[in-house]
């Protein structure tokens, strides 16, 4: 069973609207949680990285939150643009000193329509 579950699997939103993606994890111990954006046919690009002591981090119109007690994270996209159409991947790391044990979620595919 995957230790990182993302929901929804996909969603469609209208340009200018907001949306929130969810990530639940069971990875333990926990060091940091990352959100990546992956455009179709491209490699993932880092959006945010949060350690266990952080509960929110922003990158432009992207805001990630983390609740390490409930093992949940969310990624909020504000005022969506067509360029936000992509897959968003949640990644959890159990170790601070190395990352060969990263757990990747399967991603949420976001489609923004004009």
Partner 1 sequence: NAGVTQTPKFRVLKTGQSMTLLCAQDMNHEYMYWYRQDPGMGLRLIHYSVGEGTTAKGEVPDGYNVSRLKKQNFLLGLESAAPSQTSVYFCASRTSGVYEQYFGPGTRLTVT
User: Which positions touch partner 1 (CB under 8 A)?
Assistant: 2, 4, 32, 34, 41-46, 49, 89, 91, 93, 98-100, 102-107
Residues 36 and 45 sit within 8 Å (Cβ to Cβ): yes
The nearest distance, CB 81 to partner 1, in angstroms, is 22
Please, which residue, 5 or 13, has the CB nearer to partner 1? 5
What does the alpha-carbon distance between residue 26 and residue 80 come to, in Å, rounded to a whole number? 30
The nearest distance, CB 100 to partner 1, in angstroms, is 5
Please, which residue, 33 or 80, has the CB nearer to partner 1? 33
Q: How far is CA 84 from CA 46, 51, 71, 72, 101, in A?
A: 14, 25, 26, 22, 28
Q: How far is CA 103 from CA 17, 81, 94, in A?
A: 30, 29, 9
Q: What is the CA radius of gyration of the chain?
A: 13
The nearest distance, CB 104 to partner 1, in angstroms, is 3
Please, which residue, 63 or 93, has the CB nearer to partner 1? 93
The nearest distance, CB 14 to partner 1, in angstroms, is 26
């Amino acid at each position: 069973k995957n230790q990182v579950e993302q929901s929804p699997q996909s969603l469609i939103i209208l340009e200018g609207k907001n949306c929130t993606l969810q990530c639940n994890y069971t990875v333990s111990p926990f060091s940091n949680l990352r959100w990546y954006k992956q455009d179709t046919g491209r490699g993932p690009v880092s959006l945010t990285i949060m350690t266990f002591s952080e509960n929110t981090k922003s990158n432009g119109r992207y805001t990630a939150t983390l609740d390490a007690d409930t093992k949940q994270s969310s990624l909020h996209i504000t005022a969506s643009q067509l360029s936000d159409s992509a897959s968003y991947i949640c990644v959890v790391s159990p170790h601070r000193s190395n990352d060969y044990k990263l757990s990747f979620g399967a991603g949420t595919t976001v489609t923004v329509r004009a």
